[in-house]
Amino acid sequence: MHVNFSENLLLDIEAETDLNIRLTRLLALIRKHLDMDVAFISEFKDSKRIFKLVDTKRPNEIVKVGNFDPINETYCNKLANNELDNIIPDTSKNSITRDMPVTKKLNIGAYIGVPITLSNGDIYGTFCCYNEQKDDTLNKRDLAFLNLISDLASQLIDTQIQNNEAKQIIKSNVLNIQTILKFTTSLYIA
Protein backbone atom coordinates (compact mmCIF):
# COMPACT_ATOMS: atom_id res chain seq x y z
CA MET A 1 0.00 0.00 0.00
CA HIS A 2 1.59 3.25 -1.15
CA VAL A 3 0.11 6.71 -0.67
CA ASN A 4 1.82 9.63 -2.33
CA PHE A 5 1.34 12.44 0.18
CA SER A 6 2.97 15.05 -2.07
CA GLU A 7 0.31 14.41 -4.74
CA ASN A 8 -2.42 14.64 -2.11
CA LEU A 9 -0.89 17.85 -0.75
CA LEU A 10 -0.87 19.32 -4.25
CA LEU A 11 -4.54 18.40 -4.70
CA ASP A 12 -5.35 19.96 -1.31
CA ILE A 13 -3.59 23.19 -2.33
CA GLU A 14 -5.43 23.24 -5.66
CA ALA A 15 -8.79 22.69 -3.91
CA GLU A 16 -8.07 25.49 -1.43
CA THR A 17 -6.96 27.80 -4.24
CA ASP A 18 -10.17 27.01 -6.14
CA LEU A 19 -12.21 27.79 -3.02
CA ASN A 20 -10.35 31.08 -2.52
CA ILE A 21 -10.98 32.04 -6.14
CA ARG A 22 -14.72 31.38 -5.76
CA LEU A 23 -14.93 33.28 -2.49
CA THR A 24 -12.91 36.20 -3.88
CA ARG A 25 -15.34 36.39 -6.80
CA LEU A 26 -18.22 36.54 -4.32
CA LEU A 27 -16.42 39.33 -2.45
CA ALA A 28 -15.89 41.32 -5.65
CA LEU A 29 -19.52 40.77 -6.65
CA ILE A 30 -20.94 42.09 -3.38
CA ARG A 31 -18.43 44.96 -3.10
CA LYS A 32 -19.25 46.18 -6.60
CA HIS A 33 -23.00 45.64 -6.20
CA LEU A 34 -23.06 47.67 -2.98
CA ASP A 35 -20.50 50.18 -4.36
CA MET A 36 -18.25 49.74 -1.33
CA ASP A 37 -14.52 50.44 -0.96
CA VAL A 38 -13.62 47.21 0.86
CA ALA A 39 -15.10 43.74 1.21
CA PHE A 40 -13.56 40.95 3.25
CA ILE A 41 -14.11 37.56 4.78
CA SER A 42 -12.66 37.22 8.25
CA GLU A 43 -11.93 34.19 10.37
CA PHE A 44 -12.02 34.14 14.16
CA LYS A 45 -9.03 32.19 15.45
CA ASP A 46 -6.89 32.36 18.60
CA SER A 47 -8.66 35.52 19.86
CA LYS A 48 -7.93 37.29 16.56
CA ARG A 49 -9.96 38.54 13.62
CA ILE A 50 -7.91 37.49 10.59
CA PHE A 51 -8.50 38.84 7.09
CA LYS A 52 -8.82 35.60 5.07
CA LEU A 53 -9.86 37.12 1.75
CA VAL A 54 -10.05 40.76 0.68
CA ASP A 55 -11.37 42.71 -2.30
CA THR A 56 -10.74 46.46 -2.43
CA LYS A 57 -11.41 49.31 -4.82
CA ARG A 58 -7.91 50.67 -4.19
CA PRO A 59 -4.78 49.13 -2.66
CA ASN A 60 -5.07 49.01 1.12
CA GLU A 61 -2.03 48.39 3.32
CA ILE A 62 -4.02 47.57 6.46
CA VAL A 63 -6.80 45.35 5.12
CA LYS A 64 -4.69 42.62 3.53
CA VAL A 65 -4.96 38.85 3.55
CA GLY A 66 -3.28 37.53 6.69
CA ASN A 67 -3.40 40.77 8.66
CA PHE A 68 -5.21 40.55 11.98
CA ASP A 69 -6.41 42.45 15.03
CA PRO A 70 -7.36 41.37 18.55
CA ILE A 71 -10.91 40.12 18.12
CA ASN A 72 -12.35 42.18 20.98
CA GLU A 73 -11.36 45.41 19.18
CA THR A 74 -13.32 44.64 16.00
CA TYR A 75 -16.74 45.30 14.50
CA CYS A 76 -16.73 41.62 13.48
CA ASN A 77 -16.75 40.42 17.07
CA LYS A 78 -19.45 42.85 18.14
CA LEU A 79 -21.54 41.86 15.12
CA ALA A 80 -21.15 38.13 15.88
CA ASN A 81 -22.19 38.78 19.50
CA ASN A 82 -25.27 40.78 18.43
CA GLU A 83 -23.82 43.95 19.97
CA LEU A 84 -23.70 45.84 16.66
CA ASP A 85 -26.23 46.45 13.90
CA ASN A 86 -25.63 44.77 10.55
CA ILE A 87 -25.99 48.10 8.76
CA ILE A 88 -24.29 51.30 9.91
CA PRO A 89 -24.73 54.06 7.30
CA ASP A 90 -22.63 56.55 9.29
CA THR A 91 -20.13 55.17 11.82
CA SER A 92 -19.55 58.65 13.29
CA LYS A 93 -23.19 58.73 14.47
CA ASN A 94 -23.29 55.21 15.91
CA SER A 95 -22.74 55.20 19.68
CA ILE A 96 -20.53 52.09 19.51
CA THR A 97 -18.49 52.54 16.34
CA ARG A 98 -17.65 56.22 16.72
CA ASP A 99 -15.48 55.46 19.77
CA MET A 100 -13.81 52.30 18.47
CA PRO A 101 -10.15 52.81 17.43
CA VAL A 102 -10.64 50.45 14.46
CA THR A 103 -13.06 52.99 12.93
CA LYS A 104 -10.23 55.48 12.50
CA LYS A 105 -7.55 52.85 11.84
CA LEU A 106 -9.45 51.42 8.85
CA ASN A 107 -11.17 54.72 7.99
CA ILE A 108 -14.65 53.18 8.16
CA GLY A 109 -17.42 55.62 7.27
CA ALA A 110 -20.23 53.15 6.47
CA TYR A 111 -20.43 49.44 7.26
CA ILE A 112 -22.49 46.37 6.46
CA GLY A 113 -21.70 42.86 7.68
CA VAL A 114 -23.03 39.45 8.64
CA PRO A 115 -21.61 36.50 10.58
CA ILE A 116 -20.51 33.39 8.69
CA THR A 117 -22.13 30.51 10.57
CA LEU A 118 -21.10 26.93 9.85
CA SER A 119 -23.51 23.99 9.70
CA ASN A 120 -22.55 22.94 13.25
CA GLY A 121 -23.58 26.37 14.57
CA ASP A 122 -20.04 27.68 15.10
CA ILE A 123 -19.27 31.17 13.88
CA TYR A 124 -16.37 31.01 11.43
CA GLY A 125 -15.99 34.76 11.08
CA THR A 126 -17.75 37.50 9.14
CA PHE A 127 -18.52 38.71 5.65
CA CYS A 128 -18.19 42.51 5.71
CA CYS A 129 -18.04 45.56 3.48
CA TYR A 130 -17.29 49.17 4.24
CA ASN A 131 -16.92 52.58 2.66
CA GLU A 132 -14.56 55.29 3.76
CA GLN A 133 -17.44 57.77 3.51
CA LYS A 134 -20.89 57.52 5.06
CA ASP A 135 -23.52 55.85 2.88
CA ASP A 136 -27.17 56.56 3.67
CA THR A 137 -28.31 54.32 0.81
CA LEU A 138 -27.49 51.06 2.64
CA ASN A 139 -30.75 49.26 3.39
CA LYS A 140 -32.40 45.97 4.34
CA ARG A 141 -32.42 44.84 0.72
CA ASP A 142 -28.62 45.21 0.63
CA LEU A 143 -28.44 43.23 3.85
CA ALA A 144 -30.65 40.48 2.39
CA PHE A 145 -28.32 40.23 -0.62
CA LEU A 146 -25.25 40.15 1.64
CA ASN A 147 -26.89 37.39 3.71
CA LEU A 148 -27.51 35.39 0.53
CA ILE A 149 -23.89 35.73 -0.59
CA SER A 150 -22.68 34.97 2.94
CA ASP A 151 -24.78 31.78 2.98
CA LEU A 152 -23.08 30.67 -0.23
CA ALA A 153 -19.67 31.48 1.24
CA SER A 154 -20.58 29.64 4.43
CA GLN A 155 -21.50 26.49 2.50
CA LEU A 156 -18.23 26.60 0.55
CA ILE A 157 -16.14 27.15 3.70
CA ASP A 158 -18.07 24.48 5.60
CA THR A 159 -17.53 21.92 2.84
CA GLN A 160 -13.80 22.71 2.76
CA ILE A 161 -13.50 22.34 6.55
CA GLN A 162 -15.37 19.02 6.49
CA ASN A 163 -13.22 17.77 3.60
CA ASN A 164 -10.04 18.75 5.45
CA GLU A 165 -11.21 16.94 8.59
CA ALA A 166 -12.09 13.81 6.60
CA LYS A 167 -8.70 13.88 4.85
CA GLN A 168 -6.92 14.12 8.21
CA ILE A 169 -8.82 11.08 9.50
CA ILE A 170 -8.02 9.13 6.33
CA LYS A 171 -4.32 10.08 6.47
CA SER A 172 -4.16 9.06 10.13
CA ASN A 173 -5.81 5.72 9.35
CA VAL A 174 -3.46 5.09 6.42
CA LEU A 175 -0.43 5.81 8.63
CA ASN A 176 -1.78 3.44 11.29
CA ILE A 177 -2.30 0.70 8.70
CA GLN A 178 1.19 1.25 7.28
CA THR A 179 2.67 0.97 10.78
CA ILE A 180 0.77 -2.26 11.43
CA LEU A 181 1.86 -3.69 8.06
CA LYS A 182 5.51 -2.83 8.73
CA PHE A 183 5.30 -4.42 12.17
CA THR A 184 3.63 -7.61 10.94
CA THR A 185 6.02 -7.85 7.97
CA SER A 186 9.02 -7.60 10.30
CA LEU A 187 7.57 -10.42 12.44
CA TYR A 188 7.38 -12.75 9.43
CA ILE A 189 10.92 -11.92 8.34
CA ALA A 190 12.39 -12.53 11.79
Domains of the chain in sequence order: 5-159 (3.30.450.40)
User: Residue 110's pLDDT band (boundaries 50, 70, 90)?
Assistant: very high
Q: Is the pLDDT of residue 132 over 90?
A: yes
CA of 153: how far to CAs of 29, 71, 118, in Å? 12, 21, 10
Residue range 27-45: mean pLDDT, rounded: 95
Give the CA diameter of the chain: 80
The 10s digit of each residue's pLDDT in 79-103 is 999 999 999 999 999 999 999 999 9
Burial of 144 from C-beta contacts in 10 A (0-12 / 13-18 / 19+)? exposed
Q: Is the pLDDT of residue 165 over 80?
A: no
Q: Give the model's pLDDT for residue 22.
A: 86
Report the distance separating Cα 87 and Cα 104, nearest Å: 18
Report the distance separating Cα 186 and Cα 170, nearest Å: 24
Q: Give the model's pLDDT for residue 3.
A: 46
Q: Is the pLDDT of residue 185 over 80?
A: no
User: Residue 176's pLDDT band (boundaries 50, 70, 90)?
Assistant: low
Q: Is the pLDDT of residue 177 over 80?
A: no
What is the pTM assigned to this prediction?
0.78
Q: How far is CA 14 from the centre of its chain?
A: 18
User: Residue 1's pLDDT band (boundaries 50, 70, 90)?
Assistant: very low
Q: Is the pLDDT of residue 124 over 90?
A: yes
Looking at residue 98, its amino acid is R
Mean pLDDT of the residues in the chain: 86
The 10s digit of each residue's pLDDT in 4-35 is 544 454 445 455 568 888 889 989 999 999 99
